[in-house]
A and B are shown apart, each in its own frame.
Chain A
Amino acid sequence: MARSLRVVLTHLLLAGGAFLSAMPFLWMLTTALKPESALYQPPLLFPTHFQWENFAKAWQAAPFPRFFLNSAVMTVGIVLSQTLFSAMAGYAFARMRFAGRNLLFFLVLGTMMIPFPVTLIPSFLVVNALGWIDTYNALIVPRAVSAFAIFLFRQFFLSLPRELEEAALMDGAGRLTLFFRIVLPLSTPVIAASAIFSFLFAWNDFLWPLLVTNSPDMRTVQVGLAMFQGQYGVFWTLLCAAATIVTLPAILAFLAAQRQFIAGITNTGLKE
Chain B
Amino acid sequence: MGTFNFYPALYSLYLSLFEWNGLSPTREFVGLANYTRLLASGEFWNSLWVTLRYAGGVTLLALALGLGVAVLLNQPMRGQALYRVLYFLPVITPTVASGVVWKYLFDPTQGVVNRGLAEVGLVGPSWLSDPSWALVAVIVVGVWKRVGFNMVVYLAALQGIPKTYYEAAQLDGAGPWQQFRYITLPLLAPTTFFLVVTALIDAFQVFDLVYVMTSGGPLGGTDVLGYYLYRQGFRYSELGFASAVAYVMFALIFVVTLMQFRLTRGGQEDG
Contact bitstring A195-206, B, C-beta under 8 A = 1, else 0: 000001001101
Give the interface segment out of A9-17, A92-100, A161-169. A9-17
Pair B100/A229 contact, Cβ less than 8 Å:
yes
A117 and B229: CB pair below 8 A? yes
- B1: chain A residues at CB < 8 Å are 108, 111, 145, 147
B89 contacts partner chain A, Cβ-Cβ < 8 Å: yes
**Complex alpha-carbon distance, A253 and B92, angstroms:** 10
Picked from B65, B195, B239, the residue with its CB within 8 Å of the CB of A121 is: B239
Q: Which of B178-223 contact A (CB under 8 A)?
A: 190-191, 194-195, 201, 204-205, 207-208, 211-212
B152 within 8 A of A: yes
Contact B156 A229, beta carbon cutoff 8 Å: no
Q: Is B96 an interface residue (CB 8 A)?
A: yes
Is the beta-carbon distance between A265 and B243 smaller than 8 angstroms? no
A43-B112 contact given A22-B86, A22-B89, A121-B233, CB 8 Å threshold: yes
A65 at the interface (CB under 8 A from B): no
**A-contact 0/1 string along B224-243, CB 8 Å cutoff:** 01100110011000010011
B15 in the interface (beta carbon within 8 A)? yes
**A253-272 residues at the B interface, CB under 8 angstroms:** 253-255, 258, 261-262, 265-266, 269-270, 272
Which residues of B, 246-265, contact A by the 8 Å Cβ criterion?
246-247, 249-250, 253, 257, 264
> A40 to B110, Cβ gap below 8 A?
yes
A118 touches B110 (CB 8 A): no
Complex interface bits, B97-111 against A, C-beta within 8 A gives 1, otherwise 0: 110111111010010
User: A180 at interface (Cβ–Cβ under 8 A)?
Assistant: no
Neighbour of A250 across the interface among B72, B94, B156, B160, CB < 8 A: B94
Given A118-B250, A147-B1, A270-B160, check contact A226 B153 (CB 8 Å).
Answer: no
Given A24-B102, A108-B1, A236-B110, CB of A246 within 8 Å of CB of B97: yes
**Stretch from B5-13, B38-46, B131-139, B165-173 forming part of the interface with A:** B5-13
How many B residues touch A, CB cutoff 8 Å?
Answer: 83
- On whether the beta carbons of A18 and B101 are closer than 8 Å, the reply is no
Given A24-B144, A118-B8, A243-B97, is A251 in contact with B92 using a C-beta cutoff of 8 Å?
yes
Across-interface contacts of A14 in B (CB, < 8 A):
69, 72-73, 83
Chain A residues contacting B79 (CB-CB under 8 Å) are: 11
Specify which chain B residues have a CB less than 8 angstroms from the CB of A28 in the assembled complex: 97, 101, 104
The answer on a CB contact under 8 Å between A222 and B96 is: yes
Contact in complex: A118, B96 (CB < 8 Å): no
A170 at the interface (CB under 8 A from B): no
Task: Give Cα A13 to B93, complex, Å.
Answer: 23
Instruction: List 6 A–B pairs whose Cβ atoms lie within 8 Å, in order of A's numbering.
Output: A14-B72, A126-B4, A204-B95, A207-B211, A253-B92, A272-B190
